[in-house]
Amino acid sequence: MNIFFIGAGNCTEIILEKMQNCIKKAYLLDYDVEKINFLKEKFHFCIESDFFISDDIDFYVECASVEAVKKYTENIIRNNKNIIILSSGAFSDFDFRNNVENILKNSRSQIFIPSGAIGGIDIINSLKDEINSITIETRKPPLSFNMINTKEELIFYGTAEEAIKNYPKNINVAITLSMAVESFDKVKVKIISDPKIIKNIHKIFIDSKAGKYEIKIENNPSNNPKTSLMAPLSVVGFLKKFNNSIKVGV
Ligand SMILES: NC(=O)C1=CN([C@@H]2O[C@H](COP(=O)(O)OP(=O)(O)OC[C@H]3O[C@@H](n4cnc5c(N)ncnc54)[C@H](O)[C@@H]3O)[C@@H](O)[C@H]2O)C=CC1
Ligand SMILES: O=C([O-])CC(=O)C(=O)O
């Protein structure tokens, strides 16, 4: 499999590590050359690259930033290529979302938004219109927010759209939930900076006509304290099962 990675940071390193037996060529794009050089040293199949489109590439994988998603997605889907997007926060921008949806009407591309650092998307996919409200409470150590508070602090309460504007590297999960439920009004977000914890904890509360659901996720952080290890692992899980004939949990 040949993969073009947008972003050569923490998540890309974890995906490369876990997929090294399945990847033939990994093209790396990053404006930080040191990150690229580090990964080239570590994995012989990595190639530094400017952005390009080619039939040689099986998947584009974005592990960079909301800004990078906005910069590269249009070109990828106009050229009928598939992309996996971790910085799902980009979809909180109505104009971007609308443009992407219009292009996809005449494209063979598929955009895959992995469950990332959370779970419960299967419940939302099943219930959809039955859902009244979703709340996500995200609790991370102060370092994730570049804070040094010594007492627990509620640093945000509001909509998913406002949350990602304020915390673009910490709360993509709220936009993933909004995309799953196809509504940007139903998801409310609480963000807490908590000095007592060392994990990234997400609690998701779903109130629906079919029942009530509470999901608690206690993620170990990766080398980037903002990012839970499960986020890149969700991309690995997706890539490994993409070609399976039996798909579980769809
Ligand atoms: N959907 C989810 O559940 C989650 C999403 N994320 C998101 O995944 C993304 C990657 O996370 P990490 O690997 O931990 O971050 P990281 O900061 O370690 O790596 C990102 C890399 O992308 C590069 N980059 C950013 N914008 C770029 C651009 N426009 N052009 C070229 N290079 C660019 C940076 O220089 C950096 O090397 C982040 O946006 C993060 O917020 C993280 C955790 C969970
Ligand atoms: O990794 C996490 O726990 C969540 C995260 O950073 C995000 O959604 O952007």
Q: For domain 2-116+231-241, give the fold.
A: Rossmann fold (3.40.50)
Q: Residue ranges of the domains in the chain? A: 2-116+231-241, 121-226
Catalytic residues: 202
pLDDT averaged over every residue in the chain: 97
Task: Using the atom order of ligand 1, give the atom closest to the CA of residue 63.
Answer: 10
Per the annotation, binding residues for NAD(+) are 117, 172
User: What's the gap in Å between 9 CA and the centre of ligand 1?
Assistant: 7
CATH of 121-226, picked from 3.30.2130.30, 3.30.360.10, 3.30.43.10, 3.40.50.1820, is: 3.30.360.10
31-56: per-residue pLDDT in tens? 999 999 999 999 999 999 999 999 99
Checking ipTM against 0.90, whether it exceeds it is yes
Task: Please state, in angstroms and rounded to a whole number, the distance separating the CA atoms of residues 215 and 10.
Answer: 26
Average pLDDT of span 147-153: 97
pLDDT reported for residue 249: 87
Pocket test for ligand 1, best of 61, 227, 234, 235 (most atoms within 8 A of CB): 227
Take atom 6 of ligand 2 and give the residue whose Cα is closest.
170
pLDDT reported for residue 219: 98
Question: Could you give the percent of the chain with pLDDT greater than 90?
Answer: 98
pLDDT reported for residue 160: 97
Take atom 35 of ligand 1 and give the residue whose Cα is closest.
32
pLDDT reported for residue 208: 98
Nearest ligand to the C-alpha atom of residue 201: 2
User: What's the gap in Å between 188 CA and the centre of ligand 2?
Assistant: 16
Question: Could you tell me the pLDDT band of residue 250, with boundaries at 50, 70 and 90?
Answer: confident
pLDDT reported for residue 207: 98
pLDDT reported for residue 243: 86
Question: Could you tell me the pLDDT band of residue 97, with boundaries at 50, 70 and 90?
Answer: very high
Predicted confidence (pLDDT) at residue 24 exceeds the cutoff of 90: yes
222-245: per-residue pLDDT in tens? 999 999 999 999 999 999 999 899
pLDDT reported for residue 101: 98
99-114: per-residue pLDDT in tens? 999 999 999 999 999 9
64-71 LR contacts (CB < 8 Å, sep 24+): 64/6, 64/7, 64/9, 64/30, 65/7, 65/168, 65/169, 66/90, 66/164, 66/168, 66/172, 68/6, 68/7, 70/96
Take atom 25 of ligand 1 and give the residue whose Cα is closest.
64
pLDDT reported for residue 149: 96
Task: Using the atom order of ligand 2, give the atom closest to the CA of residue 173.
Answer: 8
Common-topology check for domains 2-116+231-241 and 121-226: no
